[in-house]
Amino acid sequence: MEILACPIDKHHPLELYVFEEKDEVIEGLIVCPQCLRWYPIRDEIPEMLPDELRKEAEDLPFLRKWQDRIPERILYEGNPFRLKR
Ligand SMILES: [Zn+2]
């Protein structure tokens, strides 16, 4: 985690939220506290994509799936997609 930086503003360190874990993090969230961008970890793969390569139809369901475990600040103010209050 120490070597990961936000692909948008290069900020680090990033915050890690783990939802499912075995030897590796299977599902989780990487959050940039500076620009409030969030990046999903799916099937052990951190998807650190710039905004233009992200698909709302794939990413919003991930946010909904784990919304009980994600801080409100990220759910409702996160980038590039967020839930409606
Ligand atoms: Zn950032």
Banded pLDDT at 2 (limits 50, 70, 90):
low
Which of 32 and 4 is assigned the larger pLDDT? Answer: 32
Query: What pLDDT, in 10s, does the model give residues 3-19?
Result: 789 999 999 999 999 99
Mean pLDDT of 37-56: 96
65 CA → ligand 1 middle, Å: 23
Q: What percent of the chain has pLDDT over 90?
A: 94
pTM of structure:
0.93
- CB-based contact 13:20 (threshold 8 Å): no
Strand boundaries in 1-85, DSSP class E? 15-21, 25-31, 38-42, 45-46
- Which residues, by Cβ under 5 Å, contact ligand 1, an ion? 6, 8-9, 11, 32, 34-35, 37
- Token pair 């969030």 in the structure block, residue: 38
